[in-house]
């Protein structure tokens, strides 16, 4: 099954280290992909796409039995959005 770009809308929430938006699906099931190492002790799914109208790259991680796409501060600035705003995101796996 070929992974396809998926679009959804969500609210930007403040995270422990960076902002995040809840992802309304399980990437492993939807795209048939596996996690990879992001940094020691943390695994996730590498993705790319469009965040609030601007191109971006990130990871989807699992926390509290839900999935979250991490949003670095630079993407908030580029898109002129902040924590609490609702945004549209279109993402797909970034398979190397």
Can you list the positions of beta strands (E) in the chain?
6-11, 19-23, 36-39, 42-51, 54-63, 66-71, 86-93
Block residue for tokens 């492993």: 28
The string of pLDDT tens digits covering residues 15-53 is 768 899 999 999 999 999 999 998 888 899 999 999 999
pLDDT for 3 equals 67
Cβ contacts of 7 within 8 Å, gap of 6 or more: 88, 89, 90
Q: Residue 94 to residues 16, 17, 46, 85: CA-CA distances in angstroms?
A: 24, 22, 5, 25
Q: Residue 86 to residues 6, 50, 82: CA-CA distances in angstroms?
A: 17, 14, 9
Are 25 and 19 in contact by the 8 Å Cβ rule? The answer is: no
Q: Record the pTM.
A: 0.90
3 closest CA partner among 28, 39, 38:
28
Q: Which domains does the chain have, with CATH numbers?
A: 6-93 (2.40.30.100)
Instruction: Tell me: pLDDT of 96 over 80.
Output: no
């Amino acid at each position: 099954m070929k992974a396809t770009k998926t679009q959804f809308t969500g609210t930007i929430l403040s995270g422990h280290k960076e902002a995040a938006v809840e992802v309304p699906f399980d990437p492993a099931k939807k795209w048939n992909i596996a996690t990879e190492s992001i940094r020691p002790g943390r695994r996730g799914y590498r993705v790319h796409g469009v965040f609030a109208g601007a191109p971006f790259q990130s990871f989807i991680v699992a926390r509290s039995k839900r999935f979250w796409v991490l949003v670095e501060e630079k993407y908030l600035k580029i898109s002129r959005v902040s924590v609490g705003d609702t945004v549209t995101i279109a993402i797909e796996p970034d398979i190397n």
